[in-house]
Structures are given as structure tokens and as C-alpha cells.
Structure 1
Amino acid sequence: MLEDLSTMESPSIIRGTRQAVMPSVISKEFRDGYSIYPSFSIAEGMISSGYSSLADWIISKKTVCVDGYVAVDWAGIKAALEKEFARRSVRVNWIETKDFFKPEAEIDIMVAPYLGDEDSVWGKVCDLNLAEFFDMEGLKNLEADQEFELNIVWGIGASFVSTFNSIAYFDIPKNELLFRVRGNSAFNIGSTTRFNMKKTYKRLYFVDWIVLNAHKKEILSKIDLLADSQWLDTINWIQGEDLRNSLSEMSRTVFRPRPWFDPGVWGGQWMKAHFQELAQDEVNYAWSFEIIAPENGLVLESSGHLLEVSFDTLMFQESKNILGSGHPQFGDYFPIRFDFLDTFDGGNLSVQCHPALDYIQENFGEQFTQDETYYIMDCKEDAKVYLGFQEDIEPNRFKKALEDSVVEEKELEVAEFVQEFTSEKHKLYLIPNQTVHSAGRNNLVLEISATPYIYTFKMYDWLQRDKEGKPRPINIEHGFRNLDFSRKGEQVEREHISKSYILEEREGAKIIQYPTHPEHYYAIQRLDVKDQIEVQTADKVHVLMLVEGSKIELEDRAGNQQTFHYAETFIVPAAAEQYKIKNLGEGEAKVILSYLK
């Protein structure tokens, strides 16, 4: 919930980033290359723009519940709508849900068990529901005041009021939400206290997002209007039925999530050089979140207007079509993650590991753990990958060396303990949970992984400092509760570096199999396409990226065609059944493909 700024002429929203907000209207300028604003086209006239049209819709309904997500600029949007209502001489009764939150101290006590230790990066996934944050008797029994022409219940949880005619929902993309958190412009549910960024994010991840996503899923079929509130000067919106029909259409054909990008202490320059739409004044880009379902959005386009919904909105409605045979295991949880790690002219990733399955379940409440692979998209000659232990590893000696490095701030001779491999383009390194690993500088890593993404136990960080000049948190104890010291010596070369082979050759194409570790629940192939290839989904979701070549065309079974460029990630749902990839560039197109085993 944002600070109440309704008395100001315009809201004071600060974004902690140099990156621009996504445009509300698509540019007609042709760009032949990687796009940071991919969109899925729907029928003309489905997306409306501006507060005037939104105000007209609200007035027509007489009584409206305006629900929404944390970090929406409730005060700024209300001020914009009040101007429109005033122009129409409509008297409005505003009922704000924040007045029905339980006392802040009570909420703090309620969420405390899920936030872990004060100095910990992690909490535990909560089992609360949104109703527990409210005085529900007072909220649910609200009645419209007949002396007003328009009654609006306004804010998070508004749809709990069942006596009003319609539900509008104001959403905000996760990347924009996090930029506002970094700008100190956002608050947690039911809170008016400014926490530091670490605590705010921890409460978002382990509490707010859990309860708000469950609430959104529950009311999705009842929403009459959904608005994208990421812009401060306008708003785009879509009728609920049109949204649901569009999601249904998307679930049967190829689509590309909207990526977002973040700098980091070890970040590099490769993405800045190759993705021209990125803000070039950012110091570096460490990550591109190509598809991390809890944080990515999907952009709809109609008559040039753009509207972004969260990826999980699609999963809440269409998970069976998306996942096919994977649905019984994963439900509405999208299980595969693609992201870039860019260390070109940057630094080294920390020496790290990820938790065992039982450890992440018991300590953090997650259902799945963070099993990873590193696919080398590009690298310089001196680039390294650190993976597995040396044959003569002595755990106690390694731990003491790590602890001494923290206390004395001295460099660790990593290769004395951890094996060092020369990076090779198109090679796949296998990193199941409990495996020690790191990527050195001058790599562009495509990380193909299970979806969990924050459970990294850093044990050595190469003495790197964050932007405040402080060391990042080190988690030696967590690491040593999880490290598998049997992954050492020749076994690492044998079991943790994938031995690719030609699975099938066809006219104009071949399929390369990259065997993954038994711990990985996903498989990886590469489609090398000179001309074209037809692919069956076999009732599995396919996540793909063009890793070499300039562009390809993907045609679904209905004949719909979309073009994808180098380094772009796209998804073919299980329900698409089959598709054809055609190489549109010179030379061979190489397309990486991951699917559930």
C-alpha cells in the first residue's frame, strides 16, 4: 500500500531504476532484433486507454469494488478519477479498504513467523489468506449509500464486499513493483512503516505475494475489468471477459513473456551491447529474467495499446493447457526458468550452492528446489566455470578457509578447493542442488533451471562490494548443511558436464540431446535448423530460445506465424500440440528447447 498522497496534485512515486516504464502505446518503428517489449496481439478495440474511459465505465456500474495488488498507486489513481468524476458532476462515496485493516501491530505479529531471523535473507512461505489481514465483519457488511450517485469500495481486498455490482482489478507488473520498492515508494500489506528494502522484499516474497496471488486466483473469473497501473500519467484497461478469452487463446499457441533486467555487483556489458532498447546509462546488467514465472508479465496488444498481466494470471486460468501432462505434478506453478547471467567485462558470481529438496521444504516452505544448468551462450577465451570439488577436498579445511576470508577480508584460492573448467560456447554444465559452483567473468550464461530463484547460499564472493560499499551476505552455515562433498574429482567431468549427442537427423535439421542430471525434472535439447523442422509437444510445455542465428519463424497448427530473434525466449503450451520452426537467417539456426521429463 502506498503512502496517502491524495492531497497532492500528483503522486510522488520514485522508481529505483534508470530503466524506463514500458510504453503504453506500441511504437510503429520496425526493429529487427531482440525486443524488450514483446506483445501478444488480440482483437482490435479490446484495450481501452485513459482515465476518461475508465471513469465512464465505473459510473455506468453505480457500485464498484476496485481491488488490486500491493504497490499500486492508489492515491494517484484516485486523484485522477476524482477529476473525471468532477467534470461529470458525479458525487462519489469512496470507501477505503485500508480503514478495515487490522491494527498494524497485530498484522506485524501475524506475519512475523514467516519472516525468519532479522538478519536472514529468507523467510518461509506463509499459509495465511488475505481475509486474515482485515476486520472482515466490518468490510463484508458494507452497503452503498443511496445519497450518492456512485459508490466505490477502494483498495486491496475490495472484492470481499459482495453487495456491490462489479469488480475492477488494478494490477502492476512485478518489475515495476520492485522498482518502486527500491525507490522507497511502496509499503507492505496493512503497513505504514518504511522498512529497509531487504525486509520489504522478504515480506513481499514470503507473505504479500502469496496471499494476493491466491486472492487474484479466487476472483479471476468474477473480474469485470482489469487495469494495468504501471504508468503514472495514464492507465490501460480491458473488460474481464475479453481478458479471459485472450488468455484462453494464448494458452493454445506460442507466446513470449516480457523479460526484465537488473544490475548487480558482478554484472557485465554483453546485454547492453546486444539489446539496444535497454537503458544504456545503467552501470551494467547482471540478470535478464527471460522467464521466471513469479516475476514475469505477459503483454497484450490491441489497436496499438499495451496491457500487461502477470504470468501467473495465465496459469491460474489455463494451467492445464499450458502444462499438459505436467499439470498433475505442478498445478498452476510454471516449473521451468530461463535467465541470463552476464559477466562480460564484469566480475565472478559467488561460490555457492542451492538447498536440498527436503531442506528447502522444511526451512522455507517451497515445494521444489533450485536445480540448475549453465548453458554457455557466449564467452571470451579466459572465461571459467567453477563446478564440483577437487578430488582431495577436506570439508573442514574448506570451511575454515571460507570463514577466514570473511573475517580477514582476504582472497581465497578457489581452485584449490573447487574445480575450474574453461567455458565453451554451447556447452551445458549440470548443477543439481547441493553442488558447489560459480560462473567466472566474461561469460554469458543461459541459466536453464527449476523455477525457485532466491535460494543461493553464497560462501565466497571474491571480496566484491555492493553499491553501498558493503560485502553481500555470506551463508557458509546454510551452505555446509547442504553441500554434497561426494561431487568431486573425475565424477564432476563425468556426471556434471553434459555429453551432447545427435538424437535424430532429418532433412534440413537435426535434434541434439543434452542429457541432464537425474535430479533435474526437465530435459534439454537443441534443434539445429538449416531449413525447417516440425515438432510435436507430446502433451508437454516447451520453453525455447534462439541461441545462434538471427531469426526464426514459428508457425502453430492453425497457421499463425510469429518471428523470434536471437536470444529471445518463447513458450509453446502443451495444448498447441505441434509447431513448425523455419530458419529465416543465414547459416544454421540453433534453438535450445527445455521440457518436463
Structure 2
Amino acid sequence: MFRKSDSFLAPVKAETTPAGVYDLYPAFEIGEQIFDRIEALAERIAAHKCVVIDGYEGVLWDKFIGALTAALESLGRKVTCLPVSRALKPEAEIDSLIAPFMGDKDSIFGRMTDLLLIDFFDRAALKELEPDAAADITLLYGCGAALAGWEAPLIYVDLPKNELQFRMAAGSAFNLGTTRRLDGRESYKRCYFIDWPILDGWKGTLIPRIDWIVDEQRIDVWTFMSGEALREGLRRMSRSSFRVRPWFAPGVWGGTYLRDHIRGLNREAPNMAWSYELMALENGIMFRHDGILLEVSFSMLMSYAYRDVLGHCAEDFKEDFPIRFDFLDTVEGGNLSIQCHPRPEYIRSRFGKPYTQDETYYILRATPEAHVYLGFQQGVQKAPFAAALEESQRTGEAIDIERYVQCFPAHKHDLFLIPNGTIHASGAGNLVLEISSAPYIFTFKMYDWVRLDIDGRPRPINIEHGLNNVRFERNGRVVTDTLISRPSVMKTTDDYVQEHLPTHPDHFYDVHRFHLHAGRSLHIATENRCHVWMIVEGSSAEVETADGRRVRYNYLETFIIPAAASSYTVHNTSDGELILVKAFVKDTYQL
């Protein structure tokens, strides 16, 4: 078993879904050919004396290189395979190298690294890696192979981060610089704070040099295309509308709405708590030609064209896409933990992130009993609240949390504001669209209903971090006055009504909502700003961009309009009214 997950592996080919039906495998159509035969790749490199094959962590190199070698040998070529891992520093040395970024051993938090991939390698050993003069072709392969500096064609083998995590869970893939299986939480911490920043940065530097790009997520069919096709696809995507490829995960509080209503999800899964709709660090983007799919990381697009994507805020965020969309499903599920997120100075000084995790909850579905926990009750003080949390943690006894935290009924299309330091949680019975700034793991769980995680282990509780950041002044009427958005009409036409859903001053992004009447259209200029959209009521719309592309998007699908798209038109192709929300970075944003 090379992967452990309730989610299905992406197909080599996927049909377009009907109007109104959520598409699990959204892809950007390109005119260049995508291949699905390893023999075709062998044919294109067979004449070269040596080839460099770099790639992401988690690639099953033995399988891929074995298949490529067999294909080359069938063409009569004598092949030598040389793993770049021979030049890695010893594991103990790498462990010492990364230790300053791993945080406390029992903590899920580390610190963002400033290491580079070359730091994991012995430079002298890299120089000693040389082609085999007796072979017809030498394949230098592995994560970091291009560091050896060979003058040779470059293949890059990419792997989506969801599949990497599924492989790590199965024990078939390992973190950068180690061949031992780590505890799941330690492995993810190492990915988030060390491996991914290093490897995404390295991959970005290679984009101009790539001759062939390979999608390795399926271990018996590898799709690939030329580097020229990749770069042209990224260039076109940065000027048009697109979706990232979403993925889903269960959780201890997870619900059933997503699992039961999105076609193609595993109905045998216990639940689907999250959907990673737009979590830039973990999503991929798919290209399609003649039905064949090829996925690369979203980081590739941001590395290649972040200025075109982000526009006015590009030089502050650079390759870090600033806005996050994800689903939290508690329909027939449970409450999230009572939690808060770090203040800006705390996340910078403790974890090395340049800006913090400011959130909102947009309610997409709500049962009659649905609720949201938000802000403190009037007059709650730090000492008694801390004592109650610590006593519950020590004894395992439940807390009457509503003595301390306010609970509000949740209704469809409500927007709750959760700037940093705000105590909060989604209660049971909601399908939440979480519109947020990009950071997403800095959740300080302060109370978790005295339950175990989905893996049967205690969930990490961060009472000290939480108390260092939670804002007790957000209590009583202050919460209802400042943390529940009150829509106002901005514009009314024969075609649509535009509303402003104000966010908190701490949020660097804002939210608009559009009611687009049946058969009508909405034309918008980007004005050098990136817009993130979702259809939150109705069936589907078609988005026409200035480059002539016209693409359909369906209910609950998130789509992005890059700043460089210049202008676009949203056509309501449904029978009735559409409701859409748009998020964007404010003109007067501050980090």
C-alpha cells in the first residue's frame, strides 16, 4: 500500500461535469500535447548522453526510474542510474541542521526555515557525481539532482502535496533528508516549516530550465508535457480565470454534507471535515489536453507569475497567495475546538510568518440548531477562564463553555468575523466557507470537548499559546457590534445587486456579495487586483475573460481571476438567481 487515504486517486482522464455539478478535477485546457506513456518520454531523451531528473520529496523514485530505464533499454540504450541522494549529508547531521526550526518536541509548531536545499548536501560529494562513460545514457535522479550542475536536459517530477501526505501516512514516503518514518504530526511539522518552503523555492528557480514536467501521483501511469507547454500554460493561466484542484479530508468533528453531495467523493469515508478549496501551499493546478490530466503545484504558478496573479499587492506577498478558501463541514458532525489565532507580532516572533491567520465564517448551510461560538461573555476574566481550561485538561472533565464564550445561532449567508486573538469555533450543523488569510495551521486549541482525535490520540491543546494571544476585551456587546458583519447595498442595477459584507479592520481582505439575476451578466474590471469568487447559491455561471476564454463554474466551486486578466464578465446561465461572494485584498491593507 503506497497511500493511505479515504480520497480516491485522481484519474488520468476526467470528464467535465454537467452544469451545477461540482468538479473534483478542474483543469485548464491547453493546446500543447500531454502524454501518458513512459515510452514517449524515453523516446524524447534517448539520444542524450546524460539527463538530470529532479523532483519533489515523496516521489517513488525506484518505480519511476525503473519504468523509464526499462523503456530506454527497449530502445537499445545502455542505462546507468545515479541517485543524487548519495551526496546527501548524513541523517544525523541533517537532524541537527533543522533542529532550530522544529520547535519543542511535543509541540505541533516550529519556525519557518531560512535553509536552502543545497544545505542538505555535501558540496564535494555533489561534484564527484559524474556520468558513466561506459553507458549510452546516465540518469542523475532524485530530489535536488539539478544541484549537481550537469549540462543536460532537465526533467522535473512533481507530486501533489495531498498525495505526499497520503504516502507519508502509508510509510512509503519520507521527509527531506531522512529515510525513516516519523510520527505523523512530526512529519507534517517538518513539511510545513522546513521541507515545503525549501522545495517550493527550489522548484521555482528551475521552471525556466525544465525540458519535461512529469506528474507522478499515479504509480503506473505518468503524464508529462514539455517545459515550453508548462510555461505557456502558466502564462495563460495568470491572465485568465482558473480553479485550483481541491482535496478533502476527514476530521473528528467532521460532517456529511460534502461527502454526500459532491459527486466522486468516497461515500464510505466516515466524514469529510475539510475541503482544501484554495489553500495555496497545499493545492495543485491541473492542465488538460485531449482529456489527459497533468497536475503541478500551485506554487509553480506563483513562482512564475505572481505579479500577474496578485497585481497591486504582489510585492508584499510575492509567491505567497494571500487569500484562503476552505470548507468546514459540521452538518451531522460536532463542534470544532474552542480556539484562537496568534496576534501579528506573536506569529512573526515565534513562528517566522510575516502575517497572521485572520478568518471569517461564511455560512453556506445551517441546520435549525446550528450555531457559532464567538467572543467572550460579558466580563470574563483571564484567571478564572485559564483555571477552568487547565482543570479540564488535568482531570478530563468537561466545561460548561457557554459560561465563558458566547454562542450565536447561525443562518445561511451570515458572515462571522474572526480577526486574530478572537475566541471562536464553528458549532455542529454548519457548512462553513472559511474566507481567511493564507496561514492555516496556527490554531491554538484551548478546549476540545474532552475528546480524542480521529486517530484515537489526544488532540494537541495549546492553552499557553492561546492565553498569550486571546483578546478578552472582545466580550459582550462588543462581539455583536464588531464581529458579525452587517451587509449594506453598494449598487443596484437591472442585472444585479452588489452588497458590501464589511470585514474587521484587522482583516487585510474584504468581501462583496452579488445577487445576479436570471439571464443577466456582470462585467468587472480587475483594476490590477486579484479576485477570488465562489457561487454560494444557485447552479452555475460562465466567466468570460478578455483573452476570449469562457469557462463554466458551478455551485460551491472557488475560482480565481488574476489581476492581469484586466476585465471579465460573469454570465448567469442558471434558471434562477445566483448569489456569489468575492474576496480581495483591500486597497489600504496592512500586514
Q: Are 1:353 and 2:340 counterparts?
A: yes
Counterpart residue identity of residue 15, structure 2: S
| 1:88-167 equivalence runs, <5 A | 88-167=75-154
| 1:239-254 equivalence runs, <5 A | 239-254=226-241
Q: CA deviation at 1:60?
A: 2.8
**Contact kept in structure 2, 1:516 and 1:524, CA below 8 Å:** yes
Q: CA deviation at 1:85?
A: 2.2
C-alpha distance after superposition, 1:496-525 (max 9, x if no partner): 001111011122101110011111000100
Cα distance in 2 between the residues matched to 1:338 and 1:56: 42
Q: Are 1:272 and 2:259 counterparts?
A: yes
Cα distance in 2 between the residues matched to 1:82 and 1:359: 51
Deviates more, 1:78-87 or 1:328-337: 78-87
Query: Partner residue of 1:427?
Result: 414
Match of 2:540 among 526, 532, 551: 551
Cα distance in 2 between the residues matched to 1:136 and 1:470: 42
Q: CA deviation at 1:29?
A: 7.2
| 1:2-401 equivalence runs, <5 A | 13-27=1-15, 30=18, 32-43=20-31, 45-401=32-388
Q: CA deviation at 1:161?
A: 2.4
Deviates more, 1:451-460 or 1:207-216: 207-216
Query: Partner residue of 1:9?
Result: none
Counterpart residue identity of residue 42, structure 1: I
Please, which runs of 5 or more residues in structure 1 have no aligned partner? 1-12
**Contact kept in structure 1, 2:342 and 2:357, CA below 8 Å:** yes
Query: Partner residue of 2:509?
Result: 522
**Contact kept in structure 2, 1:66 and 1:153, CA below 8 Å:** yes
Query: 1:510 aligns to what SS in structure 2?
Result: strand
Cα distance in 1 between the residues matched to 2:44 and 2:19: 36
How has the CA–CA distance of structure 1 residues 124 and 385 changed in structure 2, closer, same or farther, with 3 Å as cutoff? same
Q: CA deviation at 1:120?
A: 0.2
Q: CA deviation at 1:98?
A: 0.8
Counterpart residue identity of residue 327, structure 1: A
Deviates more, 1:84-93 or 1:180-189: 84-93
TM-score by length of 2: 0.97
Cα distance in 2 between the residues matched to 1:35 and 1:458: 33
Query: Partner residue of 1:502?
Result: 489
Query: Partner residue of 1:487?
Result: 474
Cα distance in 1 between the residues matched to 2:482 and 2:17: 48
Query: 1:363 aligns to what SS in structure 2?
Result: helix
**Contact kept in structure 1, 2:526 and 2:565, CA below 8 Å:** yes
Q: CA deviation at 1:145?
A: 2.5
Q: Are 1:593 and 2:582 counterparts?
A: yes
Q: Percent identity, aligned pairs only?
A: 42
Counterpart residue identity of residue 555, structure 2: Y
Cα distance in 2 between the residues matched to 1:192 and 1:86: 29
Query: Partner residue of 1:8?
Result: none
Counterpart residue identity of residue 562, structure 1: V
Q: CA deviation at 1:92?
A: 1.1
Query: 2:130 aligns to what SS in structure 1?
Result: coil
Q: Are 1:473 and 2:470 counterparts?
A: no
Counterpart residue identity of residue 229, structure 2: D
Deviates more, 1:229-238 or 1:407-416: 407-416
Q: CA deviation at 1:560?
A: 1.7
Query: 2:312 aligns to what SS in structure 1?
Result: helix
Q: Are 1:536 and 2:521 counterparts?
A: no
For these two proteins, the number of residue pairs brought into alignment is 584
**Contact kept in structure 2, 1:354 and 1:434, CA below 8 Å:** yes
Counterpart residue identity of residue 21, structure 1: L
Query: 1:49 aligns to what SS in structure 2?
Result: coil
Q: CA deviation at 1:141?
A: 4.9
Query: 2:499 aligns to what SS in structure 1?
Result: strand
Deviates more, 1:272-281 or 1:543-552: 272-281
Cα distance in 1 between the residues matched to 2:457 and 2:150: 53
C-alpha distance after superposition, 1:306-333 (max 9, x if no partner): 0001001000011011001111211111
Please, which runs of 5 or more residues in structure 2 have no aligned partner? 587-591
Q: CA deviation at 1:408?
A: 1.6
Q: CA deviation at 1:463?
A: 1.9
Counterpart residue identity of residue 422, structure 1: P
Query: 1:48 aligns to what SS in structure 2?
Result: coil
Deviates more, 1:25-34 or 1:441-450: 25-34
Cα distance in 2 between the residues matched to 1:220 and 1:496: 43
Q: CA deviation at 1:214?
A: 1.3
Counterpart residue identity of residue 595, structure 1: F
TM-score by length of 1: 0.96
**Contact kept in structure 2, 1:322 and 1:575, CA below 8 Å:** yes
Match of 1:565 among 547, 554, 557: 554
Cα distance in 1 between the residues matched to 2:455 and 2:17: 39
Query: 2:316 aligns to what SS in structure 1?
Result: helix
Query: Partner residue of 2:589?
Result: none
**Contact kept in structure 1, 2:19 and 2:554, CA below 8 Å:** no
Query: 2:469 aligns to what SS in structure 1?
Result: coil
Query: 1:463 aligns to what SS in structure 2?
Result: coil
Cα distance in 2 between the residues matched to 1:384 and 1:467: 23
Cα distance in 2 between the residues matched to 1:440 and 1:351: 10
Counterpart residue identity of residue 53, structure 1: A
Moved beyond 4 Å, runs of 4+ = 28-32
C-alpha distance after superposition, 1:43-80 (max 9, x if no partner): 0x521112111111221332111000000011111121
Cα distance in 1 between the residues matched to 2:308 and 2:144: 29
Cα distance in 1 between the residues matched to 2:282 and 2:414: 28
Q: CA deviation at 1:587?
A: 2.1
Match of 2:443 among 456, 462, 466: 456
Cα distance in 1 between the residues matched to 2:441 and 2:42: 40
Cα distance in 1 between the residues matched to 2:20 and 2:486: 34
Deviates more, 1:164-173 or 1:21-30: 21-30
Cα distance in 1 between the residues matched to 2:36 and 2:228: 17
Question: CA-atom RMSD, angstroms?
Answer: 1.2
**Contact kept in structure 2, 1:142 and 1:163, CA below 8 Å:** no
Cα distance in 2 between the residues matched to 1:585 and 1:68: 43
Query: Partner residue of 2:573?
Result: 584
Query: Partner residue of 1:404?
Result: 391
C-alpha distance after superposition, 1:124-145 (max 9, x if no partner): 1111000011111221353322
**Contact kept in structure 2, 1:101 and 1:135, CA below 8 Å:** yes
Cα distance in 1 between the residues matched to 2:131 and 2:86: 16
Cα distance in 2 between the residues matched to 1:484 and 1:117: 25
Cα distance in 1 between the residues matched to 2:533 and 2:125: 49
Cα distance in 2 between the residues matched to 1:513 and 1:313: 33
Q: CA deviation at 1:31?
A: 6.8
**Contact kept in structure 2, 1:144 and 1:164, CA below 8 Å:** no
**Contact kept in structure 1, 2:55 and 2:156, CA below 8 Å:** yes
Counterpart residue identity of residue 12, structure 2: S
Query: 2:294 aligns to what SS in structure 1?
Result: strand
Cα distance in 1 between the residues matched to 2:453 and 2:320: 32
C-alpha distance after superposition, 1:422-453 (max 9, x if no partner): 00110111000000001100000000000000
**Contact kept in structure 1, 2:416 and 2:483, CA below 8 Å:** yes
